[in-house]
């Protein structure tokens, strides 16, 4: 079961890689694979047990899979040090503005829709 789901995930990843080289150089292969997987699931109308088992297992350990690439930060010490203030300020300020903005916008849109439904 797990192996069959895993095979599907790898199949879509490889399909994405092929299409990336063939047609869509601006989209990374795994992203194309993900979009195709969503389209496939929409067509099927359900998630088979084997795919949900394999995906669930992989996503459970996603943070662990992300550690090796994050360690790559050690190769960019000089770049980070050069722009440290800009990086920290950008991350903090853009979060402080965009997070409440998204919440406020969503709340306004919901209230507007509810107002229209009532009238």
Q: Which of residues 35-54 bind another protein (CB under 8 A)?
A: 35, 37-38, 41-42, 47, 51-52, 54
58 binds another protein (CB under 8 A): yes
26 three-state secondary structure: coil
Rounded CA separation 87/96 (Å): 14
Task: Count how many residues are written for the chain.
Answer: 119
19 binds another protein (CB under 8 A): no
- Looking at residue 76, the DSSP 8-state letter turns out to be G
9 binds another protein (CB under 8 A): yes
Rounded CA separation 112/104 (Å): 12
Helix (H) or strand (E) holding 45: none
Q: Nearest distance from residue 4's CB to another protein, in Å? A: 13
102 binds another protein (CB under 8 A): yes
When the beta carbons of 4 and 107 are compared against another protein, the nearer one is 107
1 binds another protein (CB under 8 A): no
Q: Nearest distance from residue 60's CB to another protein, in Å? A: 10
Rounded CA separation 80/73 (Å): 9
62 binds another protein (CB under 8 A): yes
């Amino acid at each position: 079961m797990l192996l069959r789901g895993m095979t599907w995930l790898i199949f879509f990843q490889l399909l994405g890689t092929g299409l990336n080289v063939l047609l869509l150089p601006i989209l990374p292969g795994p992203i194309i694979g993900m979009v195709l997987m969503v389209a496939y699931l929409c067509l099927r109308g359900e998630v088979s047990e084997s795919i949900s088992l394999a995906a669930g297992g992989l996503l459970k350990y996603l943070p662990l899979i992300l550690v090796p690439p994050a360690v790559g930060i050690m190769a960019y010490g000089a770049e980070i040090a050069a722009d440290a203030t800009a990086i920290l300020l950008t991350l903090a300020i853009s979060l402080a503005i965009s997070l409440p903005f998204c919440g406020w916008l969503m709340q306004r849109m919901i209230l507007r829709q509810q107002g229209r439904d009532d009238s």
